[in-house]
Structure 1
C-alpha cells in the first residue's frame, strides 16, 4: 500500500470515529427506550416528539450545513460538532424537564446535523473516486456500526453496573458525553488538512447551493433517501414490540436495541456497498430491489405467533428486516456520484439531500408513536408495520425512477451543471 493510500485510509478511520459517536445522545432511545420511559417519565408520543424536534431543527439547517462544508475547512467543523454534542450530554444527564429536553434535542441537531454531518459526507465523498463510492459509503456505515456497537454496549454495561435504574441511565448518558468530547479532541489533532481531496475550483457558498438546486439528479437521490429513511425510522418500534408481544426481559431489550440499531451497520453497510458495486454494478439498482425484499419479510414478522415461545423467531425476523434496511442505508448516498455531482458542490448537494432525505425524522416517530399510544397492543403494531410495507412499495417506485435517470442521462459537463435544452 502506497503512502498516499495509507494516508487516505487513516483519514477515513478518523472520520468513522466521529461518525460513530456523535449520534448516541440524540438517539438515546435506541439502547434506552424503556429506561427513558421509566426514569425520565416519557411516553411513546413524548419520545417521538423529542425525535421530531431534533429532526425539524436538523432539516431546517442541513442546507446551511452543506454551505458551511463547501466554504469552511471540514477539519474544523467536524470536531466542533463533536465537542458541542458532548457538552450538551453533560446537561442531559441532569434529567431536565420535558420542555428543556425539547431545547436540548434541538441543540443536538445543530451540532450533529448542521455542523458535523454534511462535512463528514463531503469528506468521505472526496476521499474516493467515482468507482469507489458504494464501497466508501458502505464502509462508512459499517465502520460506524463497529464504533456504535462498542460504545453502546459499553454504555449498557455502565447502566447495568450502576444498578439498571435512574443512576444507571445518568451514568450511561455521561459516558456518551465523555466519548463525544474525547472524539472531538482526537479528530481535531488527527484529521489533517488533507481530509478532503483538493479540487481546483474555489470554495463556494450560495453559488454552489444554487448550482446544486438546478440538478434534477440531486432531487431524485434525495427522495430516494427519504423513502429509505422513513422505513428505517420504523425499526425503533421492533424494540417495544418484542417486549410487549414476546415478553422480552428489559435487560435484553437494551441489548436487542443495540444490535438492531448499531451492530447491523457492521454487516449491512459493507454488504450493501459490495452488492451495489460488485454484483449489481449500481447503487440505484440495488436499492430498487432491496425495497422489494422488505415486503415478504414484513409479512413473516406480522404472521409469526406471539408469546415467549416464539421470541427467537420474532427476533430473527425483525433483525433480518433491519439488516436489509442497513444495507440500503450503507449505499443510499452513493448515487450522488452516479448522477454526476461535481466534487466542488458536493457539500451543497448533500445539504439538499439531507434536508429532504432525513425529513421523515420530523414526523415519522410522532406518527408511529401516536399510533401505538392510540391503539395499544397488537393492533397498533399491525398498523405501524402495514404502513412501513406501503412505504417500501413507494420506495421501490422512487428508486426505479432514479435508476432510469442514472442510465438515461447524458454526460454531464465538468462543472456539474446540466446541459441546456
Structure 2
C-alpha cells in the first residue's frame, strides 16, 4: 500500500514539473495572445506580418517534428526539456530589443526549434508514460488544465508589468523580459527535478543500440496508418484552434473592446479556458464516452453547429459582453478537444517503446496548420476589412471542423474493430 502511495505521489509530482514547463515555454511564441495590438503598434507589424511570423514558426516546427521522431526516443527528457526551456528564454532576451521585421521572422523560426523540435514531443511522451490506458484522458486533461493555470498566472503577471510600465513600448519590452527570465528559471529547475529516462539497451554498444532502436521506432510509426488518422484528427482541431486568435481583433474591430481589456480577454481565451476545457475534456473522454476518439467525433458536431450560429449572429447590434461570452464559450469547446486529442494514441495500440516517435509524427501532422492557417486568416482580414472578413474566417474554420468529423468517424471505426478483435481473442 505504501509503495502504491509513493508511486502515485511520484507520478503526480512529475506531472506538476512537466506542467510547469509546458505552461511557460510558449509564452514568447504566442506573445500575440495577450499583446496582439501592442505588437502591431510598437513592433510596427500588420495582421499579415504577424500571421507570417506564426506561419514560419509553424513551418519550421513541422520539419522539426520530423527530426523529433528520432530525437524524442534517443535522448533523455532530463536533457531535452531543460534545453528547450532555457533556449527559448535566451531567444526572448533578443526579442526584447525589438528587432526589425526580418529579425522577428528569425526569432519565431528559432523559437520553433526549441519549443517544438526539442521540447513538445518529449513532454507528450513523458505524460503518456505516466498513466495507463484508463488514465490517458485525465492525464492529458490535467496537463492542459495545469498549463492553463500557469499560463494565466504568468500572462496576467506580464500584462500587469505592461500596465505598470505605461502600456507602451517599455511595457511590452518589460513583459517580454519577464517571459524570458521566467522560462529560463523553469528550465534550470526542471533539470534538477527530472530524472533520466530508462535506457532501452544496456551493453557496451549502448549508443549504437539506442540509435538503432530510435530509427526502428521512427520507421514503425511512419508505417502505422492509425497514427496518421489520429494525426489528421489533431490537424482538424488545430486548424479551428488557430482561428481563436482572431477573436481578439474581432472584438476590437466589431465590438470596440479597449486594448487593456483585449489583453485580458486574450489571456482568458488562450490560457484560462485550458483550466475549464482540460478537466472537462478528460472527464468526458474517460468517463462518459469511454473513448477519446468518440468524444472528439461528437465534439466536432458541436463545433460545426456553434460556428454556424456565430456566423449568423447580428454582431453589429450586440453588446460587447455578449460577444465576449459567445467567443469564450466556443473557445472552451475547442480547448476541451485539445486536452485529449493525443489520447487516442493509446486506443489505437501504439507500443509504449515507440511513444516518442508516435507523438512526434502526430505533432508533425497535427500542428501543421500553424504553417498556413495564421497567414491565411490574417491575409483574409487584411484584404476584406470588417465583418465580412471575419465571417470568411469563421466559414473556413467550419470547413475544417467538417473535415475533422469525417476523419474522426473513420478513427472511431478502427478503434471499435480493434476492441472487438481483442474481445474475441480474450
In the superposition, the TM-score normalised over structure 1's length comes to 0.95
Q: Counterparts of 1:57 and 1:411 in 2: how far apart (Å)?
A: 40
- Partner residue in 2 for 1:83: 86
Identify which of 264, 267, 276 aligns with 1:258: 267
Identify which of 233, 239, 243 aligns with 1:230: 239
Q: Please give the secondary structure, in 2, of the residue aligned with 1:2.
A: helix
Q: Counterparts of 1:184 and 1:137 in 2: how far apart (Å)?
A: 21
Q: Name structure 1 gaps, 5 residues minimum.
A: 414-421
Identify which of 375, 385, 388 aligns with 1:379: 388
The answer as to 2:375 corresponding to 1:366 is: yes
- Partner residue in 2 for 1:405: 414
Q: Counterparts of 2:181 and 2:173 in 1: how far apart (Å)?
A: 12
Q: Counterparts of 2:348 and 2:420 in 1: how far apart (Å)?
A: 10
Identify which of 19, 23, 27 aligns with 2:22: 19
Q: Counterparts of 1:49 and 1:302 in 2: how far apart (Å)?
A: 26
Q: Counterparts of 1:305 and 1:38 in 2: how far apart (Å)?
A: 30
- Partner residue in 1 for 2:291: 282
Q: Please give the secondary structure, in 2, of the residue aligned with 1:63.
A: helix
> Residue 83 and residue 412 in structure 1: after superposition, are their counterparts in 2 closer, same or farther (change >3 A)?
farther
Q: Counterparts of 1:254 and 1:243 in 2: how far apart (Å)?
A: 11
Runs of 4+ in 1 over 6 A off after TM superposition: 197-202, 410-413
- Partner residue in 2 for 1:174: 177
How many Å apart are 1:299 and its aligned residue? Answer: 2.7
In the superposition, the TM-score normalised over structure 2's length comes to 0.94
How many Å apart are 1:63 and its aligned residue? Answer: 2.2
Matches within 5 A, 1:254-333: 254-307=263-316, 310-333=319-342
Deviates more, 1:62-71 or 1:39-48: 62-71
Deviates more, 1:326-335 or 1:385-394: 385-394
Q: Counterparts of 2:341 and 2:5 in 1: how far apart (Å)?
A: 30
How many Å apart are 1:66 and its aligned residue? Answer: 2.8
> Residue 412 and residue 144 in structure 1: after superposition, are their counterparts in 2 closer, same or farther (change >3 A)?
farther
How many Å apart are 1:306 and its aligned residue? Answer: 2.9
Q: Please give the secondary structure, in 2, of the residue aligned with 1:408.
A: helix
How many Å apart are 1:412 and its aligned residue? Answer: 9.3
Deviation per CA, 1:171-227: give whole Å up to 9, x if none. Answer: 00000001110100110011123xx57878974221110011111111000000000
Q: Counterparts of 1:151 and 1:197 in 2: how far apart (Å)?
A: 33
Contact 1:199 1:343 in 2 (8 A): no
- Partner residue in 2 for 1:416: none
Contact 1:127 1:197 in 2 (8 A): no
Q: Counterparts of 1:277 and 1:211 in 2: how far apart (Å)?
A: 28
> Residue 199 and residue 140 in structure 1: after superposition, are their counterparts in 2 closer, same or farther (change >3 A)?
farther
Contact 1:277 1:283 in 2 (8 A): yes
How many Å apart are 1:298 and its aligned residue? Answer: 1.7
Identify which of 210, 213, 222 aligns with 2:219: 210
How many Å apart are 1:67 and its aligned residue? Answer: 1.4
Q: Counterparts of 2:400 and 2:11 in 1: how far apart (Å)?
A: 38
